[in-house]
Every structure is written in C-alpha cells, then in structure tokens.
Amino acid sequence: MQWPLERANDAMEEIAAAQYPGIRYFTVARTAADTRKDDVEGKWRIVTPETAGEFSGVAYFFARHLHRELGVPFGIIISAWGGTPAQSWTSSRKLSADPALAEFVAKFEADGEAARPGYDAAFADWERQAAEAEAAGDEAPRRPPRPRALNPSATPSWLFNGMIAPLTPYPIRGVIWYQGENDANNRQALLYRRLFRSLIEDWRHEWGQGAFPFLFVQLPNFAGGAEGSEWPELREAQAMALGLAGTGMAVTIDIGDSTDIHPGNKQDAGLRLALAARAIAYGEQGLEFSGPMYRQTTRQGSALRLWFDHAGSGLQARGAPLVGFELAGSDGKFVKADASIDGSSVILTSPEVEAPVQARYAWGDDPQSNLINGAGLPASPFRTMD
C-alpha cells in the first residue's frame, strides 16, 4: 500500500492530471514502537500535480474513482510500511488472546533473544571495519543483515503501537488493505488464516465503530518469491477472511508482474477496491463488484462441475481457451484439466484422471489464469480441498 503514485504505470500522465481539491491525504510517518503511542507525525495534503506523486498509488486510484462516482470529498490516511508482516499491525491484546498467536509471539521473542548476541558482535565488528575503511579511504563493508526476529518493523504489535493506535480516537469510514508478501515469503500462510482475521477484528474493536468495511487486495501473480514461499496458500488465507461481515476482496491475479513484487498497475487495483467500497460501504445495488468466487463442486461421472458466485451475466474466458484449471484423483497428483464454461459453472475433465476428487485454479506463485465474469473481473484462485 505504501508504493507511491510516482512509481505506478503512466505516472507522469497520472500526476499531471491529479487536480482534485476534494481529495486529501495524510501520510503517517513510519514508526515502530514497543508501547502504544498517542500521536503520529504527518500532515494533510490536497491532491495536486505537485503533491500527488507521494500519495499511495492504490489509495489514489481508489479515492479518485469514488470521488468521481459519488461526488463527495475524500480523506485518506496512509499508514503503511512496505515489506512488513501482519503480526506487526496487530495489537498485543489481540495476539495474546489467541493461544496459537500467543505461541507465535513467544517464539518470535525467543528467536530474537537467541540471535541478539551474535548480531551484536557482528555489528560491532562491522562498525570497527567501517571506521578503518573510512580512515583508509576505502569502501566500507556491507552492514550485517539484521535477523528478522530483531527487526522492529517485523516485531509483533510494534507498527500497531506506532502507526495505528494513535489513529483510533478518530472516526473512519473503513479500511483498505494491501499486504501479505512478507508473510508469504516467510511461510506464514497457515498462521495468516488466524492472523488476518484477528487483525480485522482487532481494528474494529479498537475503533469501536462496529464492523466497518474492511476491503483488501488479494496478492497478485509474482514469480520471484523466496524458495519455499507460500503465495497461493497466502491468497487462500486472505480469501478466508471474507467470512467476516463487511469485508471485500480485490482480486489481482491478472495484473501482477512476474518479475517485480511491486507491479505498476495500481489503477486496476485501486478501481477494484473502489467497486467493493461502492457495494459494501455505500450500499450500491446491482453493481458487480467482485470477480467469480468458487462456491461448490458437483461430481458428474468422470467430470467435476464447479459452481461460482459473482458470475454476473455469465462466466467468460479472457482469450481462448480457458486455462489455469487442474484436477487430481485420490492420489492427490494434479494434472492440467480441460475446462469449459456452462453459465455460472465450469466443467473439468482430464483423460489422466478417471475419478477426480479435487480441483484447483490459478494455484501457483505466477499461474496462468483467464476466468472472468461479464464485468471483466477475474476469478480468485482456489482449491476445492485442503
């Protein structure tokens, strides 16, 4: 969410046209704190070509669409720190209330204590070598990497304390959220199922405004994840949060960048969040605001029929043929499936799987995918069985 407009696709043209006195934004200074703070640094700025470049790209396109469609002013508070995990944004009260999350926090703290002596020694050695290099006119050696368990921005609750807690006395209309890459790369997808729901519940409790809209971006396609990373599992964990009332998800599996963890297409990400806001936050009726979402499976001989919600006027394939589907039998080995659309369902078959029991779609870090609805919104990746 932190990624600025000045680094989005078509940035120069977008910034030149960014003349919106009815949109203002406040960027919270990045602050990690071991105790709750009651104030933040930052100031409100009116969106102009001179100020827009520093605005979060996704948040800008979100606010611009709603401002144009609804004709009302918008204020956006940007409280974001790129590359950080969900535990950093969740209060210690909430983390300690869940035994599994409390166990995770205890292990994180223990890992930090175990890593501290070695890191302190390495850092002291680096300081000495850097001073010697400077005195000799040589290039300083590279600073030793800080272990994750000693990184303030990864420490449980520290970003909540410094960047969220001070905001909670002020009423808000809702939240938009784009995060999860760090959790995927650090193999926290299973934990994220609990953690993300807990974060949403936590923020709603802290603001005391009930179940305000919480709209989030599902991770896009990306081929450069860390070895053993869990991008498809993390997307699945994000989708599970839709079980909470007042939530909405912008699917971006079709607009990522295979080689860049920060895709430049912030326009569509912001637009899809705005569509969710129009339906969920503002109650607009008849608006298709989500791509197809898997609902259920029925067995038909050697085929599986998958049914979808949010099919709109009917499922479609962007380009032909329909791709991204796989089938597996009782052995759990997935193979490419032949897929055909029938209204709001997709029928899957494979000559290699006589008795299919599982299916999945767009399951991978950077998968093939082209299933959309009549509104042109992409289907969310999924698997039918864990």
Mean pLDDT by 10 residues, the chain (386 residues): 93 97 98 98 97 97 98 97 97 98 98 97 96 95 95 98 98 98 93 98 98 99 87 98 98 96 96 99 97 97 97 93 97 97 98 97 97 98 86
Residue 287 belongs to a domain: no
Say yes or no: 101 and 87 in one domain.
Answer: no
Say yes or no: 167 and 76 in one domain.
Answer: yes
Q: Which of 129, 150, 171 is the last residue of a domain?
A: 150
Decide if 303 contacts 347 (C-beta within 8 A): yes
Residue 261 belongs to a domain: yes
Q: Which of 105, 122, 150 is the last residue of a domain?
A: 150
CA separation (Å) from 361 to 24, 228, 322, 366? 39, 20, 11, 12
Q: Which of 133, 150, 167 is the last residue of a domain?
A: 150
Say yes or no: 270 and 308 in one domain.
Answer: no
Residue 63 belongs to a domain: yes
Say yes or no: 184 and 85 in one domain.
Answer: yes
Residue 288 belongs to a domain: no
Residue 378: the pLDDT is: 99
Pairing of strands 316-317, 371-372: antiparallel
Say yes or no: 168 and 315 in one domain.
Answer: no
Say yes or no: 201 and 245 in one domain.
Answer: yes
The total number of structural domains in the chain stands at 3
Say yes or no: 37 and 185 in one domain.
Answer: yes
Residue 229: the pLDDT is: 83
Say yes or no: 123 and 145 in one domain.
Answer: yes
Residue 45: the pLDDT is: 98
- Burial level of 263, CB count in 10 A (0-12/13-18/19+)? buried
Pairing of strands 293-300, 247-250: unpaired
For the domain that residue 210 is a member of, what is the CATH number? 3.40.50.1110
Domain carrying residue 167: 5-91+157-280
State the Cα–Cα distance between residues 26 and 383, nearest whole angstrom: 39
Say yes or no: 82 and 216 in one domain.
Answer: yes
Residue 285 belongs to a domain: no
Query: Starting from the edge strand earliest in sequence, which strands make up the sheet with 44-47, in order?
Result: 44-47, 20-27, 74-78
Residue 286 belongs to a domain: no
Say yes or no: 180 and 276 in one domain.
Answer: yes
Say yes or no: 72 and 193 in one domain.
Answer: yes
Nearest Cα to 216, choosing from 244, 194, 256, 185? 244
In the chain, alpha helices (H): 11-16, 57-70, 92-97, 99-136, 158-159, 181-185, 189-207, 231-240, 266-280
Residue 78: the pLDDT is: 98
